[in-house]
Amino acid sequence: MTELSSEFAEAWRRFQAADSVRLLEETLESEWTRGRTDYAAFLIQITDPAVRARIASVLEAVASIPGVEPYPEAYWHATIKGVGFMAGQPARDDELSPDDIHRIAEEARPLLEPTPPFPARIGQVNAFAEVVFMEVLDGGVIRSLNKRLLDGIAGIQRQPVDGAYFLPHISIARFSSSDGLPQLKETLARLRDEQPAGPAFTVRDALLIRAHLTGEALTFETLAAYPLRG
């Protein structure tokens, strides 16, 4: 966990030095405003009550800050690997057909299910340019799963943050403006002093989900489940 802790510390230093944040319309989520409504991803759902309580307490402290938009509880998850947008007739490099998704779902089984259930701990609240997040300290397991999927399955979307650069985290809020950035920095710094570490939990399964935007609501549909059998 030491390596991850130092990388999270570097992410925090970069955020503290930032003069602005990356707004919603500049992120992956903006694609849902351009007619693409379905995105597939491998992730870990956050269901542990103590972890969810910690997230809720952080959001209570930041929700009123200008430009900060909390994610709803149903969204709380730790991504393992984004796959790509789902399309009946793929027209871009980041789009996949239903047959592609079915193949990827099955090829993931021997890559994910042999992994034993593993312990993790919520670290401190932190932020990237795009989101406020909770650190996930897991000894590097989620990063290794990310790399395993990248190396073992053809066709899934590759991003600069994957592989050796992937930091496991739970996104809890996004940004609609930079108006509250000074207040956000101060609030997060205070929370980091008050809450140096969060509760431990055990990851026992992973999911392949379809994230679907209906109006303003983002919903998850499980496409495949992967119990970690060890």
Tens-digit pLDDT profile for residues 41-83 = 999 999 999 999 999 999 999 999 999 999 989 899 999 999 9
Planar angle of CA 21, 26, 30, nearest 5 degrees? 130
Residue 225 has pLDDT above 70, yes or no: yes
3-state DSSP assignment of residue 35: coil
Q: For 17-44, how does the pLDDT look when each residue is reduced to its tens digit (9 = 90+)?
A: 999 998 865 555 555 546 778 999 999 9
Tokens standing for 210? 């379809």
Q: For 120-170, how does the pLDDT look when each residue is reduced to its tens digit (9 = 90+)?
A: 999 999 999 999 999 999 999 999 999 999 999 998 888 888 988 899 999
The per-residue pLDDT for 136 is: 97
Average pLDDT estimate for 86-112: 94
The per-residue pLDDT for 1 is: 47
The per-residue pLDDT for 137 is: 95
| CB atoms inside a 10 Å sphere around CB 111 | 16
Distance CA 61, CA 56 (A): 9
pLDDT tier, 107 (very low <50, low <70, confident <90, very high otherwise): very high
* Domain CATH number, residue 45: 3.90.1140.10
Q: Which of 213, 203, 197, 60 is nearest to 145 (CA)?
A: 203
* Number of domain units in the chain: 1
Q: For 110-130, how does the pLDDT look when each residue is reduced to its tens digit (9 = 90+)?
A: 999 999 999 999 999 999 999
Residue 112: domain span: 2-227
